Structure 1
Amino acid sequence: MKKIAVVMGGYSKESVVSLKSGKVVYENLCRKEFDPYRIYLFKDKWFMKNEKNKEYPINKQDFTVFRMKKLKFDCVFNAIHGTPGEDGILQAYFELLKIPYTGCNFHHANVTFNKKYCSTFLKHFGINTAESFFLNKNQIFCSKKILNKVGLPCFVKPNRSGSSLGIRKVYEEKDLFDAVQKAFLEDEEIIIESFLKGKEVSVGVFSFKNEVVVLPITEIISQNDFFDFESKYSGKSKEITPAKLSKNIENKIRNTAEKVYNFLNLSGISRAEYIIVNEEPYFLEINTVPGLSEESIFPKQLKIVGISLSDVFKNTIYASIEKMNK
């Protein structure tokens, strides 16, 4: 049987969500084909837990565990949201060690996690995106110059962060400076985007049996001002799957979602958000390690089409091993 390291945790505030996703992966891996292990990666320590919750340290030099004898893994299932699992750091590490891992490679993970890089890249291919303004930490900026480009209201976002952490919606110029400073607490780079008024949707896309599969679209209705961290993980949003859309709009979103997946050269599972403005989808962001907990959108979309998590995980693992061995 293949020994699978299910890595979870991470270095950001998203670690609490990652632990739930990792638990789902661990529980849904077929025991007839896989021998899964729970691996926790935190800033202060990397370790494995056995069934009795005893901890065994990870050797970072070769990603092995010593438990009576050295334990090597045949593949890593990456369930870490945010850094270092979604920004390319872990991917590069496993690439160097020649250990197969799920999801896209380090270069594409780095591009997709960086909101500026990702939106600029996709705009080149004709994908609709919001007007934006980029700032580095300690950079002197002019509020009027920014707002002349993006308008009000606008969103101030950490450039490299997930789960809507650090995002502020700004309605008045006087509140821009404070929103910028708060976003800089999450990242040294921020992006300020124009507000797009429309219907927000989320769509999962993944590789399955050598084909790109676009899942049913989910409409997101947040009880808060926008789809923030609380809305995503504390039940403060209504999610309708499949979304109630005209056939024309549904086809546009599905076609755009597949194009984005292919343009970014992704593999494994993903989920992206769009805003429908004047009958056209506008790309917001993409998650290459989407949430897999019971509250998450991706598993709910899978359920609609009758594909089990177990089958998706199995396919993803074998595809990852095949890709590394090419």
Structure 2
Amino acid sequence: MTAPLIAEPLLVARGLSVTFATEQGPLRALDAVDLTIAAGETLAVVGESGSGKSVLSLALMGLLPPTATIEAEELRFAGRDLLHLSRHDRQALRGCEMAMIFQEPATALNPVRRIGDQIVEAIRLHEDIAPEIARKRAVEALAATGIPAPEERARAYPHQLSGGMRQRALIAMALIHRPRLLIADEPTTALDVTVQAQILDLIRDLARETGTATLFITHDMGVVAEMADRVTVLYAGRMVETAPAPALFAGPEHPYTLGLLGSMPQMNARGEPMLPIWGTVPDPRQMPPGCHFHPRCPFAGAQCRSDRPALREIRAGQASACHFAPLLETLGGAE
């Protein structure tokens, strides 16, 4: 009996690091991150501001500034080596097979060009079709995102639309070519709760219809619970935990993940106090030795202050970079 074929992941990153050149010297913003995404899968990357989430998304898209240096053991998309693609080939991928929804549509959209013209430009950048056909497709794309009166909205400028409509326009632009990978960088941060729920439903439904893999970047564990198949937790540029979403919520294996969950009111039982994470993410120029989280960790010991914990598998599919993992066994044994 022959073994079943296992499809290669759509995106593979091994040991992905990003360093910025600054006047004060090199600044390591991302440190040896590993991740894979399969076709049709949603991977959430979660962490506070300054954890390296947006740097990760820009590195994958090839949008980092010239001051950044990318290093990786492997960085492949659909079998292609992204580290050695020509600039022309990388541009051909971007916006077509790989697309991104940015955090703030007001800055991602050109304020002096009509919405429809911007989508038409995105279409014709990758397809040699007549302007009138591209415009028809732009209106259809806006309609698919649920924007009312899409023909009228296509003639509008960004400032004439609400925040939710601008974000829908960005989603229409990102999905116009049915990309194989969609990167959504905190796409609901500036929106109210009702519009946020609508945008999340839209991204999930459109990705499901097109079979698109999604890398969803967020600091909101509630969004992670709603959207993700798997989760990678970043802290100070390093991976501290990765797991299938149900396993992570059922039994987090890193104190930072535990703190992220404990900081969410809806994650706590009624009457149970919230468990905030004290302090802030450290300055990349002044990283603490050992585990970077130890100055904020309620369980830190001498080993945490001196030795960097390796990311190791705790159970099938779940890995943690904590000396004390598995946490329940360790904390239970300490009582």
Q: One fold, TM greater than 0.5?
A: no
- Larger % of strand: which? 1
Q: Calculate the TM-score normalised by the size of structure 1.
A: 0.30
